[in-house]
């Protein structure tokens, strides 16, 4: 393996382009190999990868204006190389332009690109640098001839969608928020204790505004596992909006609860801690890799004895687990993820409009299955990390139209006082990055009528 940061970045971006996988998944494939690299090189590599993904729309707009070749006709290695070089030039002030260009050309040579290609890349990047003063400011107010969606680096369909719903100015504000670097947020077992412990180690920590467990680390850039308190299970990584969803299952009773889509266990762990002593929790997860991480996370949080983990789906739950119906079910459904673009910048490029239809079908199927497993007077909480009506309000409306034994119930009374404003007049929990600084989340509390 070539250990040069730019070459590895080129490899990762090409793999992402070919596979359509989440960029985090592609990164994880390369991370074991990164042990052969200087940690500073790996950090530089990741900064370039995520920077290119975040600003891909802007970078491509600039490249298209100056390239004599249409970008669609360029080999993927060449296009990714140009993006890497241009990102360094325009966004990484500490890297001299000469180094950005020369090292990018060197990476393309290592990738066995012919001399005429590397000459083309070298010439194009240097020409753009000579005309830098003419380029519009990314995220700026005036893009000149550059389209709005490119100025804020979002796909055309998504920007137009948000413009139609929110208006141009709010759509721009939302996209600009998505382009900010996400601050690490923790859900703390004891917030005051954790903040004090971090301060003793010289780590600045700030309390969140809405969740009583939320702790932000605005300056931290290291590994999560190296944060004081990680091994002892004093916290888990979880966005503040996600921390509030579990409150919609309140009031919690002595019964059995189900986390129907447990994932890595952020909400699983939170719910397990909140449940009464004699209550129990079943967590279902079909993906074997996530299942392993779920078990590890619960063990670290000292919650393994409180949660029964089941590999599979709620449709395939063992008979003995559903002989008594559940008092509450959390369906944190698979979704487009368009509310968490700030944390996962590749989502904007990995999604298409038809995905909303596909996810909607899955979401309704999950709710149908969950409804049959809930006892009378039980609570069904439906949540997504999306802001799109097709996955949120419209799913709930369709579900209620075919399930007259359910009704929508506002969760406002069960949220912490400071978070009640996040529930709208209909009773839906809705957050937006440009409105309250939180990831885009949705939740609905559905009661099963006797």
The answer to whether residues 236 and 302 touch, using CB atoms and an 8 Å cutoff, is: no
pLDDT of residue 173: 97
Asked whether the predicted pLDDT for residue 21 surpasses 90, the reply is: yes
Tell me the average pLDDT of the chain: 95
Strands 442-448 and 406-409: antiparallel
Token duo for residue 26: 């592609």
pLDDT of residue 337: 98
pLDDT of residue 319: 72
- pLDDT tens per residue, range 408-440: 999 899 999 999 999 999 999 999 999 999 999
What's the chain's length in residues?
Answer: 450
pLDDT of residue 1: 52
The answer to whether residues 125 and 104 touch, using CB atoms and an 8 Å cutoff, is: yes
- pLDDT tens per residue, range 86-133: 999 999 999 999 999 999 999 999 999 999 999 999 999 999 999 999
Residue 216: CB partners within 8 Å, gap ≥ 6?
A: 183, 184, 185, 186, 205, 206, 207, 208
pLDDT of residue 3: 73
Q: Cα separation of 124 and 121, whole Å?
A: 5
Asked whether the predicted pLDDT for residue 36 surpasses 80, the reply is: no
- pLDDT tens per residue, range 43-100: 999 999 999 999 999 999 999 999 999 999 999 999 999 999 999 999 999 999 999 9
Asked whether the predicted pLDDT for residue 382 surpasses 90, the reply is: yes
Token duo for residue 321: 């687990």
| Confidence category of residue 323, pLDDT binned at 50, 70, 90 | low
**Percent of the residues in the chain that have a pLDDT greater than 70, as a whole number:** 99
Stated pTM of the model? 0.95
Over residues 340-363, mean pLDDT: 97
Domains with residue ranges and CATH for the chain: 5-135 (1.10.940.10), 184-237 (3.30.70.1170), 240-448 (3.40.50.150)
Cα angle for residues 418, 431, 176 (degrees, 5° grid): 120
Q: Cα separation of 315 and 368, whole Å?
A: 10
- pLDDT tens per residue, range 132-187: 999 999 999 888 999 999 999 999 999 999 999 999 999 999 999 999 999 999 99
Q: Cα separation of 294 and 265, whole Å?
A: 5
């Amino acid at each position: 393996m070539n250990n040069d940061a730019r070459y590895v970045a080129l490899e990762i971006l090409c793999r992402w382009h070919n596979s359509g996988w989440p960029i985090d998944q592609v990164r994880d494939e390369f991370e074991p190999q990164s042990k052969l690299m200087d940690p500073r090189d790996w950090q530089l590599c990741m900064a370039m990868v995520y920077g290119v993904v975040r600003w891909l729309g802007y970078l491509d707009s600039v490249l298209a204006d100056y390239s004599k070749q249409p970008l669609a006709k360029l080999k993927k290695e060449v296009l990714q190389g140009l993006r890497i070089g241009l990102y360094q030039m325009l966004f990484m002030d500490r890297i001299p332009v000469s180094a950005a260009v020369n090292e990018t050309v060197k990476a393309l040579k290592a990738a066995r690109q012919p001399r005429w290609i590397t000459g083309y890349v070298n010439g194009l990047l240097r020409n753009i640098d000579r005309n830098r003063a003419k380029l519009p400011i990314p995220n700026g107010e005036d893009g000149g001839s550059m389209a709005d969606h490119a100025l804020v680096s979002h796909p055309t369909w998504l920007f137009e969608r948000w413009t139609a719903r929110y208006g141009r100015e709010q759509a721009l504000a939302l996209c600009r928020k998505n382009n900010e670097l996400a601050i690490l947020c923790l859900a703390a077992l004891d917030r005051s204790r954790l903040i004090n412990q971090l301060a003793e180690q010289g780590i600045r920590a700030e309390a969140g505004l809405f969740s009583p467990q939320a702790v932000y680390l605005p300056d931290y850039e290291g590994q999560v596992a190296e944060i004081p308190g990680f091994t002892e299970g004093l916290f888990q990584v979880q966005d503040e909006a996600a921390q509030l969803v579990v409150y919609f299952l309140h009031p919690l009773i002595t019964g059995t609860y189900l986390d129907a889509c447990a994932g890595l266990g952020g909400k699983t762990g939170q719910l397990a801690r909140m449940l009464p002593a004699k209550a129990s929790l079943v967590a279902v997860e079909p993906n074997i890799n996530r299942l392993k991480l779920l078990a590890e996370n619960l063990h670290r949080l000292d919650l393994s004895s409180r949660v029964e983990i089941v590999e599979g789906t709620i449709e395939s739950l063992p008979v003995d687990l559903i002989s008594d119906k559940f008092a509450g079910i959390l369906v944190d459904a698979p979704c487009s993820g368009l509310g968490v673009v700030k944390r996962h910048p590749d989502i904007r490029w990995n999604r298409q409009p038809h995905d909303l239809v596909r996810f909607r079908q899955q979401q309704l199927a999950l709710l149908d299955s969950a409804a049959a497993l809930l006892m009378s007077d039980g609570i069904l909480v439906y949540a997504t990390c999306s802001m799109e009506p097709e996955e949120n309000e419209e799913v709930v409306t369709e579900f209620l139209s075919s399930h007259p034994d359910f009704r929508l119930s506002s969760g406002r009374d069960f949220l912490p006082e400071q978070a009640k404003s996040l529930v709208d007049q209909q009773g839906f929990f809705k957050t937006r990055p440009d409105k309250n600084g939180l990831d885009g989340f949705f939740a609905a509390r559905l009661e099963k009528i006797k």
